[in-house]
Structure 1
Amino acid sequence: MALRLAATRLSSALPKSTTTTIATRSLSAGLDRAKSTEDYDRVLQTFANIRACAVLRTPTSEACPKAMQACIDGGFKIVEFTLTTPDCLDHLSSFREKYDGDVMVGCGTIMNTEDAERAVDAGAEFIITPVMLPDVIQWCAARNIVSVPGCQTPTELINAYRNGAPLQKLFPGVTGGPMWVKAVSAALPMLSINPTSGVDLDNAGDYLRNGAASVGLVAPLFDPVAIQNEDWDQIAKNAEKVMANVREVGPYVRK
């Protein structure tokens, strides 16, 4: 009871995510690449409805579209191309054009605002960073672009929130897994945590049941051996399995 009361007091003491306020002002100022508040809400609601994002890194450019296509065929509706993949932005642009309105496409491994600019210009609907980068978060917040920064500790998670990130990526995985997310979510209920490392085909639903807003899947979904062997059917089966587990939990109620 004391913990819940303390969390409530902390929540009221913290500023609400300043993203919408900042972005509304910025739109009137005519910032480059600014999106509408409706588009911002659409992206967040898609995360809340779907609750799972496919995170793709491939060693070759040729494997990238084949692996991502298999994942989409298996049921994923939110996908992330990472800048560590050769020709990442070309593939991102192609998939955004092909699936616009059906599959939401974002870009990861963003390290600075220049990366963010190039990703948005290529069609990225959301921005993912591997670490907590206040300049990128604030750049996105000022333009109504959803950012999901990588964080490892509760302090980083709350700082990402305070800087304007509506979702916070837990990366890399932490000891305790879903129970860690449950404890932090109870103590800091204003957060919307997106665990990425440590999530696999079987435990994705456990993370969501224990407080995660959404999850990201990397190697367990895009099995490196399957990619090397060009076994796209296996990746599609992986996608089908994890999405079945995620759908059992149902949508997320946004904060």
Structure 2
Amino acid sequence: MSESFKEALAVVPLVAILRGITPEEVIAVGDVLVASGFRIIEVPLTSPDAMRSIAMLSDHLGPATIVGAGTVRRVEQLDELVAAGGTLMVTPHADTKLIRAAVDRNLATLPGVATPTEAFAAIDAGADALKVFPSDIIPPSTLAALRTVIGPDVPLIPTGGIQPETMDRYLVAGASGFGLGTALYRPGDSVAHVQKMARSFVTNLIAAYA
């Protein structure tokens, strides 16, 4: 696993997914996330001028924060990501060619999986962690079964529909952290609202580990 990505997961195992964010607001949102404890931020490539936002965040927040691209689907997007200073590739699917290409570029990799077949294919391709997606149709019992066959070493990151009050059930089932989307940030949300939700997630995560 990428050591910097591993270290960031160890600090606060939450991935902030800023789908739809614009370059004009990304620095202010990034600052409140980091102030709340987040160390991993994803800007999906479906967002307006996503690579610019990634470059701005990477430059502003520095190497202590992992900044990456989500919804990556093509190998050529990886070169743009590296040029923007990003260090993490997130995908909604288990494309082994894309995973291997990201590993070759020294990017941390978080591919989306929903089945054991996808999970083991991603692991064999070099994935650092697995985005269990969409978790709103993958209950904790299914995650527990996936954890049983995968073993303890590969981080499992449920993503999709996670709320502050649902994290504890997934942690008991074997989750290693969470990808947080619209419950954390929606386009148009104020910085104050994002800060409130970020603190709620971190507070509930600490309580769940206690």
TM-score normalized by the length of structure 2: 0.88
Match of 1:178 in 2: 140
User: Which has the higher relative contact order, 1 or 2, with Cα contacts under 8 A spaced 6 or more apart?
Assistant: 1
- 1:241 matched residue in structure 2: 200
Match of 1:92 in 2: 54
- Measure the CA separation in 1 of the matches of 2:105 and 2:136: 32
Does 1:148 find its partner at 2:107?
no
Query: 1:205: Cα distance to partner?
Result: 3.4
Q: Could you tell me how far 1:207 is from its partner in structure 2?
A: 1.9
CA contact (8 A) 2:39 2:66 kept: yes
Q: Does 1:194 align with 2:130?
A: no
Amino acid at match of 1:214: G
- Paired residues in the alignment total 208
Letter in 2 for 1:153: T
**RMSD between superposed Cα atoms in Å:** 2.1
Counting only pairs closer than 5 Å after superposition, residues 27-46 of structure 1 correspond to structure 2 as 40-46=2-8
Contact kept in structure 1, 2:109 and 2:128, CA below 8 Å: yes
- Aligned match of 1:167: 129
1:96-136, Cα deviation, whole Å (9 max, x unpaired)? 11111332211111111111111111011111011111111
Letter in 1 for 2:142: W
Change (3 A) 1:216 1:111: same
Question: What letter corresponds to residue 163 of structure 1 in structure 2?
Answer: A
The residue that corresponds to 1:204 in the other structure is: 167
Q: Residue 87 of structure 1: CA displacement? A: 1.3
Q: Which shows bigger deviation, 173-182 or 95-104?
A: 173-182
Out of 203-212 and 150-159, give the one that drifted further.
203-212
Give, in angstroms, the shift of residue 174 of structure 1.
4.9
Where 2:135 maps in the other structure, the secondary structure is coil
- 2:183 is matched with 220
Identity of aligned residues (%): 26
TM-score by length of 1: 0.74
Shift of the 103–59 alpha-carbon distance from structure 1 to 2, 3 Å rule, reads: closer
Return closer, same or farther for 1:235/1:174 CA change in 2, 3 Å cut-off: closer
Q: Cα 1:67–1:136, aligned 2, differ >3 Å: closer, same or farther?
A: same
Gaps of 5+ in 1: 1-18, 20-39, 251-255
| Cα shift readout 1:193-228 (whole Å, capped 9, x = no counterpart) | 111112112212332232112210000111x3xx43
Change (3 A) 1:41 1:59: closer
Task: Quote the residue 1:113 is aligned against.
Answer: 75
**Whose radius of gyration is greater, 1 or 2?**
1
CA distance in 1, matches of 2:82, 2:122: 20
Contact 2:21 2:48 in 1 (8 A): yes
2:114 maps to a residue whose letter is Q
| In structure 2, C-alpha distance between the alignment counterparts of 1:162 and 1:106, rounded to whole Å | 22
Aligned partners of 2:78 and 2:105: how far apart in 1? 11
For residues 41 and 61 of structure 1, do their structure 2 counterparts lie closer, same or farther at Cα, with a shift above 3 Å needed?
A: closer
Which of 114, 136, 157 is 2:98 aligned to? Answer: 136
